[in-house]
Amino acid sequence: MTTADPHRQLLDSFQRPINYLRVSVTDRCNLRCRYCMTSQTRWMPKGQILTLEEIHRLVRVAVAMGITKIRLTGGEPLCRKGILQLIARVSRLKGLEDLALTTNGTLLVQKARQLKQAGLHRVNISLDTTDAAEYLRMTGMDLLNVVWQGIQAAAAAGLEPVKINTVVMRGCNDHQIELLADLALQHPYHIRFIEYMPMGIDPREAQKHFISVAEIESRLQRMGRLIPIARRDRDGPATRYRFEGAPGEIGLIGSMSKHFCSRCNRLRLTADGHLRPCLLSDDQFDVITPLRQGASDADLEALFAQALSHKRQEHRLRFDGDCRLRTKMVNIGG
Ligand code: SAM
Ligand code: SF4
**pLDDT, tens digit, 9 for 90 and up, residues 177-216:** 999 999 999 999 999 999 998 877 777 778 899 999 999 9
Element spanning 168, H or E:
strand 163-168
Decide if pLDDT at 42 tops 90. no
State the CATH number of the domain containing residue 321: 3.20.20.70
Q: Is the residue at 100 inside a domain?
A: yes
State which amino acid sits at residue 164: I
Q: What is the pLDDT of residue 207?
A: 87
Residue 61 is part of which domain span?
A: 10-332
Instruction: Identify the residues whose C-beta falls under 6 Å from ligand 2.
Output: 29, 31-33, 36-37, 74-76, 104, 126, 329-330
Q: What is the mean pLDDT of the chain?
A: 91
DSSP helix/strand/coil, 135: helix
- Tell me the CA–centroid distance for residue 36 and ligand 1, in Å: 6
Q: What is the pTM of this model?
A: 0.94
pLDDT of residue 262: 79
Residue nearest to atom 10 of ligand 1 (CA): 334
**CB neighbours of residue 187 within 10 Å:** 17
Q: Is residue 3 part of a domain?
A: no
Establish if 150 belongs to a structural domain: yes
Q: Is 2 inside any structural domain?
A: no
How high is the pLDDT of residue 39? 79
Q: CA geometry: angle at 272 spanning 253 and 128, to 5°? A: 30
Smallest CA separation from ligand 1 atom 19, residue: 36
Distance 154 CA to ligand 2 centre (A): 18
Residue 7 pLDDT > 70: no
Q: Are 196 and 212 spatial neighbours (Cβ–Cβ below 8 Å)?
A: no
More confident of the two residues 289 and 42: 289
Alpha carbons 312 and 123: distance in angstroms, whole number:
28
Cβ 140 vs Cβ 31: under 8 Å: yes
**Which ligand has the nearest atom to the CA of 195?**
1
Dist. CA 329 → ligand 1 center (Å): 7
Q: Is residue 4 part of a domain?
A: no
Question: Residue 63 above 90 pLDDT?
Answer: yes
Please compute the mean of the pLDDT values over residues 34-59 and round it to a whole number: 93
Q: Using 50, 70 and 90 to split pLDDT, how confident is the model at 329? A: low
Q: Taking phi first (over 0 means left), then psi (-120 to 50 degrees means alpha), and beta for anything else, what does residue 150 get?
A: alpha
Choose one of 329, 330, 331, 332 to mutate for the ligand 1 pocket test, by most ligand atoms within 8 angstroms of C-beta.
Answer: 329
pLDDT over 80 (residue 109): yes
Which of 125, 126, 270 should be mutated for ligand 1, with most atoms under 8 A from CB?
126
Atom 11 (ligand 1): residue with closest C-alpha?
A: 334
On the question of pLDDT at 317 being above 70, the answer is no
Three-state DSSP class for residue 195:
strand
Per-residue pLDDT at 228 exceeds 90? yes
The residue ranking higher by pLDDT, 51 or 40, is 51
Across 260-275, average pLDDT = 90
Whether the pLDDT of residue 323 is over 70: the answer is no
pLDDT at 120 over 70: yes
Ligand 2 centroid–CA 87 distance in Å is 20
Is the backbone of residue 97 left (phi > 0), alpha (psi -120 to 50) or beta?
alpha
Buried b / exposed e over 12-50, threshold 16 CB at 10 Å, is: beeebebbbbbbbbbbbbebebbbbbeeeeeeeeeeebb
Q: Going by C-beta distance under 8 Å and a sequence separation of 6 or more, which residues neighbour residue 83?
A: 25, 72, 77
Q: Which of 105, 106, 110, 96 is nearest to 123 (CA)?
A: 105
Please report whether residue 113 resides in a domain.
yes
- pLDDT score of 4: 59
Residue 324's pLDDT is 65
Give the CA radius of gyration of the chain: 19
309 vs 116 pLDDT, higher one: 116
Predicted pLDDT of residue 242: 97
Structural domains of the chain, count: 1
